[in-house]
Structure 1
Amino acid sequence: MTRIAIIIGSTRPRRRTAVVARWVAEVAARHPAATAGEATFEVVDLAEYGLSVLDEPTPALFGEYLNAHTTRWAATIDSFDGFVFVTPEYNHAVPAALKNAIDFLFAEWNNKAAGFVSHGVHGGVRAVEHLRLTMTELQVANVRTQVALSAFTDFEITDPADPGVIAPDEHQEPTLIEMLDEVIAWSRALKPLRDATAGSEAVAVPA
């Protein structure tokens, strides 16, 4: 079974990103692969992992994690075959909390697929451009289709301090389903590479 994480890419209190992630999860639960038992989707909330600003003494490339929060985060990401990143756009870029969480790890991201759901005044598209570059460096296949939710037309907001209610335009759900199709397909296609890597790590090196 293909396991896809829906990652909430903001830790800000009353974040609209959590509202968006819940919508993504609801749509994903109706996806044909999910109803057929061929894929599962799970929301992963960065705020629940207590990640400090990157505090590992060794670069993530070497996989030598010393901190309990890193080990827990690594185990979570390693368990998935693909990802849907749900992100706002902060000052023309990805939130610092999401970039920090990504930078904690390396191998756990490799040879998997990712899609993007963004939101903001400009639909969050500039944050996703940053994410695409980072994912490529981590050997994560970026799918083409992207959901970009406008703060003006895809939400009902009465109080700026409140996350509001998501009210996506009619084209957004079909776009999301198309993106999920691509993430599932690429996650499956890359499985032989993940299996080969896991097999090579399992081989004992002679002393």
Structure 2
Amino acid sequence: MTKLRIGILIGTTRATRFGHKPAQWIFDLASRRDDVDAEILDLRNFPMPFFDEVASNAWAPSKNEVAQRWQKKVAEFDGYIFVTPEYNRAPPGVLKNALDYAYVEWIRKAAACVGYGSVGGARAVEQLRLICVELQMAPTRTGVHIQGADFFAAKQGKSLAEIEHLQKNATAMLDELVWWSLALKAAREKA
């Protein structure tokens, strides 16, 4: 069986970000599976300006070289996990910008979310799901929400792998992501 390629996007570029911790944790979980080949994508490595193209790359090729490199990278994956904080009840602007710079690369692929911060990033995750639908992606029902005591313990160095209820949600989320990614990959190949 060919392994699914899953991109794990760290949704913030702040110097003091926490996102690399849950991204590494979910990467470690995904890497233990025999059906997933995961890779962490750090938006720091793709410093795109605010979206300033003549149109979406669905209608006109992007001129920005970093955006072109980003689109090529995004196209490599069968599904995605967005690791996002919640900034003012929304995902960070840098993540929305990265989503806007690609279109055809996202189409008919599965997406899952790991949120953290206030109410576990639930409001940011809800908005990401709506954005994913507009980009013709299939968001999973189950996500992971790191909030409250778990968030503060992890910020202070406690391993997310030690928090049992997060492990259960992460496993369920990965199972759903794999199911949808396989189904959509088969459909894309058939079309």
Which runs of no fewer than 5 residues in structure 1 stay unpaired? 158-162, 198-207
Find the counterpart in structure 1 of residue 121 from structure 2: 124
Equivalent residue for 2:15, pick from 9, 13, 16: 13
Matches within 5 A, 1:46-57: 46-57=43-54
1:179 is the counterpart of 2:185:
no
Amino acid at match of 2:93: A
- Distance in 1 of aligned mates of 2:119 and 2:166: 15
Find the counterpart in structure 1 of residue 107 from structure 2: 110
Matches within 5 A, 1:21-60: 21-31=23-33, 33=34, 38-60=35-57
Normalising by structure 2, what TM-score? 0.91
CA distance 1:151–1:12, change in 2 (3 Å): farther
- Distance in 2 of aligned mates of 1:57 and 1:192: 33
Which runs of no fewer than 5 residues in structure 2 stay unpaired? none
**Deviation for aligned residue 1:63:** 4.5
For the 8 Å contact 1:5–1:42, the answer to whether it is kept is: yes
**RMSD of Structure 2 on Structure 1 (CA):** 1.6
Aligned residues: 187
Secondary structure of 1:136's counterpart equals: helix
**Deviation for aligned residue 1:65:** 1.5
Secondary structure of 1:109's counterpart equals: coil
For the 8 Å contact 1:63–1:105, the answer to whether it is kept is: no
- Distance in 2 of aligned mates of 1:74 and 1:134: 17
Find the counterpart in structure 1 of residue 183 from structure 2: 189
For the 8 Å contact 1:119–1:151, the answer to whether it is kept is: no
Normalising by structure 1, what TM-score? 0.85
Amino acid at match of 1:24: I
1:165 is the counterpart of 2:162:
no
Equivalent residue for 2:88, pick from 82, 86, 91: 91
Secondary structure of 1:118's counterpart equals: strand
CA distance 1:23–1:62, change in 2 (3 Å): same
Find the counterpart in structure 2 of residue 203 from structure 1: none
Secondary structure of 1:43's counterpart equals: strand
**Deviation for aligned residue 1:25:** 1.0
Work out which of the two has the higher radius of gyration on C-alpha atoms and give 1 or 2: 1
Secondary structure of 1:44's counterpart equals: strand
- Distance in 2 of aligned mates of 1:132 and 1:110: 14
